[in-house]
Amino acid sequence: MLKGKIVKALSGFYYVQDGNSVYPCKGRGNFRKRKITPLVGDNVSFEMDENEEGYILDIDERQNELVRPPIANIDQAMIVASVVEPEFRTILMDRFLVLIESKNITPMIVLTKTDLVDDEELEKLESYKENYEKLGYTVIVGSSKEEDGLLGITPYLEGKTTVIAGQSGVGKSSMLNALKPHLDLETNDISKSLGRGKHTTRHVELIEMYGGLIADTPGFSSLEFQDLEYDELPDCFPEMREHGEYCKFRGCLHNKEPKCAVKAAVEEGEIPSYRYEHYLQFLEEIQNRKPRY
């Protein structure tokens, strides 16, 4: 019996990587009956029969899974945001951070297109970078248009399965291409003018890069908090995990409750007020969500 990881699924075959080899495999016959669907990212046991045909025998328990793109066992999500075109917005960054945290995936932040801004704007950016680093997030700033402009990312890929997130046009494909030029993923110059739908790619593939695996299709295209309950929201903010311990009430939502340590930290400037405002906005959004039935 062999062990490996599914790195691609296409036309009924699962491509299982073991070391430097990739084996096309089929799912075991009874998977369908048992309603088991192997996913890209799954760690599996498999065997090759005498005709060199591969069969997946078993799937290890998943650490997590995403629906779009369908992929399992993600370690980290890289949120790509451009500093301009489109402009950097903290609310969007915080929304991505919350969605990723809610799936128990470690976020990291990449800010692109620094070649398009002047020193003054770079300085403003530096303060955002510091804010997010203080929360414990890794932040890499750079440009895909400059040689080695984003190489700072590479040490963070090693040994991890990474999915990329970020709104349209921020430079996700350009970043991947800059990291690994021969990838040649389609950037948006053409598809935009043709008005083609975003993220139309159906299949997802894990690509080896700098000792890790990166999904070639971006995730978190829906930015709604569909699967999140309001009382889970504070846990998606590292600063609330930290300060929330000292609130008077257990399960404090840091909203109208008295003796709230989070609100105190906001007043003292320990938590940036925009983070807290976004928290309240997300809380309201979740609480006002229409039930899904």
Binding site for ligand GTP (CB under 6 A): 112-113, 115-116, 143-145, 166, 168-174, 187-189, 198
CB 279 within 8 A of CB 233: yes
Binder of residue 169, out of ligand GTP, Zn ion, none (CB less than 5 to 8 A by kind): ligand GTP
Give the three-state DSSP class for 22. strand
Give the three-state DSSP class for 59. strand
Distance CA 6, CA 40 (A): 5
CB 209 within 8 A of CB 185: no
Comparing CB distances to ligand GTP, the nearer of 131 and 191 is 191
CB 188 within 8 A of CB 173: yes
- β-strands 13-18, 2-10: how paired? antiparallel
Binder of residue 262, out of ligand GTP, Zn ion, none (CB less than 5 to 8 A by kind): Zn ion
Min dist CB 267 to Zn ion, Å, is 12
Span from 202-210, 258-266, 272-280, 285-293 in contact with Zn ion (CB under 5 A): 258-266
Min dist CB 178 to ligand GTP, Å, is 8
The binding site for Zn(2+) consists of 247, 252, 254, 260
Min dist CB 207 to ligand GTP, Å, is 15
The binding site for GTP consists of 112-115, 166-174
Span from 57-65, 124-132, 210-218, 246-254 in contact with Zn ion (CB under 5 A): 246-254
Min dist CB 281 to ligand GTP, Å, is 24
User: 196 is written with which tokens?
Assistant: 């083609």
Comparing CB distances to ligand GTP, the nearer of 113 and 254 is 113
Among 81, 100, 260, 265, binds Zn ion (CB under 5 A): 260
The binding site consists of 112-115, 166-174, 247, 252, 254, 260
Comparing CB distances to ligand GTP, the nearer of 17 and 154 is 154
Min dist CB 96 to Zn ion, Å, is 24
Binder of residue 143, out of Zn ion, ligand GTP, none (CB less than 5 to 8 A by kind): ligand GTP
- DSSP for 148-211 reads TTTGGGGGGTTT-EEEEE--TTSSHHHHHHHHSGGG-PPPHHHHHHTTPPTT-----BEEEETT
Whether the bond into 155 is cis, omega within 30 of 0: no
**Does residue 254 interact with Zn ion by CB under 5 A?**
yes
Give the three-state DSSP class for 25. strand
**Does residue 28 interact with Zn ion by CB under 5 A?**
no
Sign of torsion over alpha carbons 212, 218, 219, 220: positive
Min dist CB 262 to Zn ion, Å, is 4
Distance CA 222, CA 235 (A): 20
**Does residue 243 interact with Zn ion by CB under 5 A?**
no
Long-range contacts of 185-189 (CB under 8 A, 24+ apart): 185/216
**Does residue 252 interact with Zn ion by CB under 5 A?**
yes
Q: How many CB atoms lie within 10 A of CB 142?
A: 20
Q: Enumerate binding residues for Zn ion (CB under 5 A).
A: 247, 252, 254, 260, 262
